[in-house]
Structure 1
């Protein structure tokens, strides 16, 4: 549910991300750009309230601007489906305290951290244990 409490976002088999008005049940925004099924979506909060994160079977993470209906960034690095996306509470070198790190988890058995200010730079990666894990399907930053 979006910051205003009246919208939801969805990812679809048709490769799109959509925002819906809960009260009218009408589509509010449509984002095209993924090249395969959109498997995860997440609304932004605080200073990123006007953004949506999405992950896809096309192995990418994308950041969308709700106000302009535009894709802001494409983050590539995963080698399999991205099933989880999160806005991280971590802050990297920001005196104001704004969060500028996002995270993504994939069937490739990694959780990757990205600095969205640096335009696509991967900060670091957590690699799961190939013998014990069978990919990252979900995670939560706390």
Structure 2
């Protein structure tokens, strides 16, 4: 028997940063087209960034200071459940690379080099 009190869950498809002391929204990031399931703050060189993973199968990298979307990472064929900044830094002769990884309901984990925008790791 179906309950009469079932509510459809709605999503505004945004990532929001809040000042918890003042209970005020500081920043809002719009760009996903479906539920946002995971969010992660950056650290070290990526301190002013946020990663977000969504039911729209994409991962977005955001600049906290400007509120702008820096990069979009495609490649998954299902919901992105988790996003993470990797603690690994790949050193090359020209530059260091920052790596992010994300896991999806398509049973894959992708590793990306943010600086070169390559999924070759």
- Please indicate, yes or no, whether the TM-score normalized by the shorter chain is above 0.5: yes
Residue 5 of structure 2 corresponds to none
Decide whether the 8 Å contact of 1:89 with 1:99 is kept in 2: no
Aligned twin of 1:65: 63
How many residues are treated as equivalent by the alignment?
Answer: 112
Aligned-partner Cα distance in 1 for 2:92–2:75? 25
Q: CA deviation at 1:123?
A: 2.1
Q: Of the two, which has the highest radius of gyration?
A: 2
Question: After the TM superposition, which parts of structure 1 deviate over 4 Å for at least 4 consecutive aligned residues?
Answer: none
Confirm or deny: 8 A CA contact 2:18 2:26 kept in the other structure. Answer: yes
Counterpart CA distance in 1 for 2:33 and 2:56 is: 6
Aligned to 2:114: 116
Question: What is the root-mean-square deviation in Å for CA atoms of aligned residues?
Answer: 1.9
Deviations 1:54-82 (A, max 9, x none): 00000000000001110000000000000
Superposition deviation, residue 89 in structure 1: 1.1
> Which sections of structure 1, spanning at least 5 residues, go unmatched?
1-11, 125-142
Query: CA offsets per residue over residues 87-129 of structure 1, 9 Å max, x none?
Result: 001122357x95600000000000100010013x2124xxxxx
Runs of 5+ consecutive residues of structure 2 not aligned to the other structure: 1-9
Alpha-carbon distance in 1 for matches of 2:48, 2:97: 14
Aligned mate of 2:91, from 86, 90, 93: 93
The corresponding residue for 1:52 is: 50
* Distance (Å, rounded) in 2 between the aligned partners of 1:69 and 1:112: 25
Within the candidate set 17, 31, 34, 1:33 is matched to 31
